[in-house]
Structure 1
Amino acid sequence: MEENKHYTNPDHQPNPAEDDEELQIDWMGILRQVLTIRKTLYKAAGVGLILGILIALGTPKQYTVSITLSPEMGSGKSGSGLASMAASFLGGSVGADSPDALNATLAPDIVASTPFLLELFNARVISQDKQIDTTFTAYLDEQKSSWIGYVLKAPSMAIGGIKSLLTDEEKEDTATVQKGAIELNEEDAIKLEGLRKQITVEADKKTGITTLSVTLQDPKVTATMADTVVSKLQQYITTYRTSKAKEDCQYLEMLYKERQQEYYAAQQRYARYVDANSNVVFQSTMAERERLQNDMNLAYQVYSQVAQQLQVARAKVQEEKPVFAVVEPAVVPLYPSGTSRKVIAVGFIFLAVALTGAWMLLGKPYWLKLKEGLSQKD
């Protein structure tokens, strides 16, 4: 009886081959289903082709120009460069520089700032076909927009038109600055948002390599604006870095002229007193002469020290100017950037066929089963 407890019927043992057959995909069955709906897929491909062509033709061409910069900023160490050379030659010294508040890694934030972008509006641009010769802000009004953009903007444009009819307020033509605050009209605000997407800057914090990219619809205008942005960025950083040194230099210039006048005046007083009392040997006369000579020598020492500091400050202005090595200059592109029209058309065909096939093979049967189950419950 104990042997019967461990007895198993061979007819009921699991068959691994049956489990493998259940996991296998019936590719032939799927192929037969696809063949049965091939006409629907052909129609979907046609619809995708038409939609892809419409979108491809309605999307204006875009051209991208990239410029690579390698900024060589100040070393930040004391006793380096022209200022230290001038100080050592003149017997002065240069104190340690304070850390820079502005460096190459802030280039993306500088270019995206509102004051910087507003300065680009007055830049002069000429299209490649020479038909457009105007300011950059006027060129932005000439750029084409895709029909999808017009469709998406239609509600907001309609609401804006209704508001303009109901209100009698006149819009300002240009941006205004009041007590440091910039007040933009709606048109300029839209342009600035678009420029922040069309003008991008990437800075490598380790190497300092800065890459600036500009994307517009005309290749010549794109290259021109890329070069303009780089020039203004260099000017902006240079102005910031040299502003403190220039202020110090202007102050020393004023101080130098004052000390010079004081020295000349002391020198004249001493010379006049000596000429008037050249034959007098009284002790009081000698004491006054010595006092005037000491005043002249002291004025000369102060004058000489200020002159040395002025020379060092002048050298400091030149030293603080950053040097930008243009690794890759602006080149007028020959071909548009972005996705080509052929790829857009093929992509829409594939998307239409894939979605239609997924619906016909998977979505529709489950949907019918769900409706049938709901109707049986009712």
Structure 2
Amino acid sequence: MNENKNYQHPDVQDPENDELEIDWMEILRKIIAIRKTLYKAAGVGVVLGIIIALSIPKQYTVTVTLSPEMSGDKAGGGLASLASSFLGGGASSSPDALNATLAPDIVASTPFILELFNTRVQTLDGKLDTTLVAYLDEQKQPWWGYIKAAPGMAIGAIKSLFAEEADTASVLNPFQLTKKESEKVEGLRKILTADVDNKTAMTTISVTLQDPKVTAIVADSVVGKLQQYIIDYRIKKAKEDCAYLEQLYKERQQEYYEAQSKYAHYFDSNRNIAFQSVRAEQERLQNDMNLAYQVYSQVAQQLQVARAKIQEEKPVFAVVEPASIPLQPSGTSRKTILAGIMFLVICGTGAWKLIGISYWEKLKEKKQ
């Protein structure tokens, strides 16, 4: 007869089930027994939380949303195509070498950040009116930040006693930055962020600083510089082509005027002469004049198309959400910091009393 191998006598208990059982009542009794200690821990947590919450300076964030026009939206209906259709030429549009998806890389680039250094900023209370790079030195930091930076500040002070005084009026060189300039670039790179939605091409720029008005000014400046950067890049090739055609237009115009002047002068001088050689020379000068006019006319048409293309290549940015002075600070509120620190202190104290002490005693016994 086959026996059921899975059958187990009810008096036999599974040891794994015993390990999974938790006596919640026993834990509750232990917590009640140490309630006075937990009350003290809560008081310590409140004091510590207040100190930490008040030490962290307030931060303000300004977010600007842009909707750039993509080149594919024009669909050949731009000014250059219109001019080309009237003038009989052909204007071919090339794909963009720089589009809106590169905004995060542009904002994080060192040359772009260095251009922001001399941006004029003013605090909300009007007490400080200076450049952005000078304002970064005025920002507050928690007291533990000063403790952490104390060794470096001491070493820097000692080095400054023996180092020669630097020229403060020197121009910033992105190729070779000083240590202080590099630290400020990294600091600005952390507070400036740009995100692009690949589906909608919406660009969101965020700036976080300690003064609301300074934050709004910097955010507006970043948007303006980003727009100008992309515009300059987009129309750079078109402007170079237009400048070349301007020079070529003047040269062909001068050649046409000279050929016209030679023909008119020769025609007036030999009007009543019927020699065949005179007529041949007159016909040759007339052909030169007509050829010069044709070349001059074609260059003039190309110049008009190039001028229209500069305007066509300029991208249009619709500011969906402009920069404005924030009324409330961003980040974690002081109440949340206070509650979090108090919770951690209570949990840490309770865990030490309920579990930590017993494990510590076992470790001491094993060592003995």
State TM-score, norm by structure 2.
0.93
Report deviation, 1:81. Answer: 1.0
Do residues 269 (structure 1) and 269 (structure 2) align?
Answer: no
> CA distance change for structure 1 residues 154 and 177 in 2, over 3 Å: closer, same or farther?
closer
Aligned partner letter, 2:281:
E
Do residues 327 (structure 1) and 320 (structure 2) align?
Answer: yes
1:177-208, Cα deviation, whole Å (9 max, x unpaired): 66xx5322232222211111111111122221
Do residues 173 (structure 1) and 168 (structure 2) align?
Answer: yes
Do residues 57 (structure 1) and 50 (structure 2) align?
Answer: no
| Structure 2 SS opposite 1:182 | coil
Do residues 363 (structure 1) and 356 (structure 2) align?
Answer: yes
| Structure 2 SS opposite 1:279 | coil
Paired with 2:67 and 2:9, the residues of 1 have a C-alpha distance of 77
Identity across matched positions, percent: 65
> CA distance change for structure 1 residues 96 and 328 in 2, over 3 Å: closer, same or farther?
closer
Q: Superposed, which structure 2 residues align to 1:164-203 within 5 Å?
A: 164-165=160-161, 167-173=162-168, 176=171, 182-203=175-196
> CA distance change for structure 1 residues 213 and 22 in 2, over 3 Å: closer, same or farther?
closer
Paired with 1:77 and 1:45, the residues of 2 have a C-alpha distance of 65
Paired with 1:17 and 1:299, the residues of 2 have a C-alpha distance of 107
> CA distance change for structure 1 residues 84 and 22 in 2, over 3 Å: closer, same or farther?
closer
Paired with 2:75 and 2:296, the residues of 1 have a C-alpha distance of 25
> CA distance change for structure 1 residues 265 and 15 in 2, over 3 Å: closer, same or farther?
same
- What is the count of residue pairs matched by the alignment? 364
Counterpart of 1:290 (choices 280, 283, 286) is: 283
Paired with 1:112 and 1:237, the residues of 2 have a C-alpha distance of 14
Report deviation, 1:12. Answer: 5.9
Paired with 1:318 and 1:22, the residues of 2 have a C-alpha distance of 77
1:141-195, Cα deviation, whole Å (9 max, x unpaired): 2211111211221222222223334x323334366466xx532223222221111
Paired with 1:111 and 1:249, the residues of 2 have a C-alpha distance of 29
Do residues 205 (structure 1) and 201 (structure 2) align?
Answer: no
Aligned partner letter, 1:207:
T
Paired with 2:172 and 2:163, the residues of 1 have a C-alpha distance of 23
Aligned to 1:157: 153
1:280-323, Cα deviation, whole Å (9 max, x unpaired): 12111111111001000000000000000000000010011011
Kept in 1, the 8 Å contact 2:245–2:299? The answer is yes
| Structure 2 SS opposite 1:256 | helix
Kept in 2, the 8 Å contact 1:174–1:185? The answer is no
Counterpart of 1:102 (choices 60, 74, 98) is: 98
> CA distance change for structure 1 residues 241 and 281 in 2, over 3 Å: closer, same or farther?
same
1:55-76, Cα deviation, whole Å (9 max, x unpaired): 1111111100000001113239
State TM-score, norm by structure 1.
0.90
Counterpart of 2:331 (choices 330, 335, 338) is: 338
1:124-150, Cα deviation, whole Å (9 max, x unpaired): 112111112222222222211111211
Kept in 2, the 8 Å contact 1:175–1:184? The answer is no
Aligned partner letter, 1:335:
Q
Aligned partner letter, 1:161:
A
Paired with 1:233 and 1:38, the residues of 2 have a C-alpha distance of 59
Report deviation, 1:45. Answer: 1.6
Aligned partner letter, 2:168:
D
Aligned to 2:34: 37
Aligned to 2:131: 135
Paired with 1:337 and 1:201, the residues of 2 have a C-alpha distance of 17
Do residues 249 (structure 1) and 242 (structure 2) align?
Answer: yes
Do residues 66 (structure 1) and 89 (structure 2) align?
Answer: no
1:323-375, Cα deviation, whole Å (9 max, x unpaired): 11111111211110011111111100000111111111112211211211221
Aligned to 1:237: 230
Aligned partner letter, 1:171:
A
Do residues 90 (structure 1) and 117 (structure 2) align?
Answer: no
1:80-138, Cα deviation, whole Å (9 max, x unpaired): 411111011011111341x3221111111111111111111111112111112222222
Paired with 2:19 and 2:92, the residues of 1 have a C-alpha distance of 83
Kept in 1, the 8 Å contact 2:114–2:172? The answer is no
Kept in 2, the 8 Å contact 1:173–1:185? The answer is no
> CA distance change for structure 1 residues 293 and 78 in 2, over 3 Å: closer, same or farther?
farther
Paired with 2:190 and 2:321, the residues of 1 have a C-alpha distance of 21
Paired with 1:228 and 1:149, the residues of 2 have a C-alpha distance of 29
Aligned to 2:253: 260
Paired with 2:289 and 2:87, the residues of 1 have a C-alpha distance of 21
Note the residue ranges of structure 2 that are not aligned, 5 or more in a row.
Answer: none
Paired with 2:320 and 2:74, the residues of 1 have a C-alpha distance of 26
Aligned partner letter, 2:65:
T
> CA distance change for structure 1 residues 12 and 327 in 2, over 3 Å: closer, same or farther?
closer
| Structure 2 SS opposite 1:251 | helix
Kept in 1, the 8 Å contact 2:234–2:313? The answer is yes
Report deviation, 1:245. Answer: 0.5
Aligned partner letter, 1:293:
Q
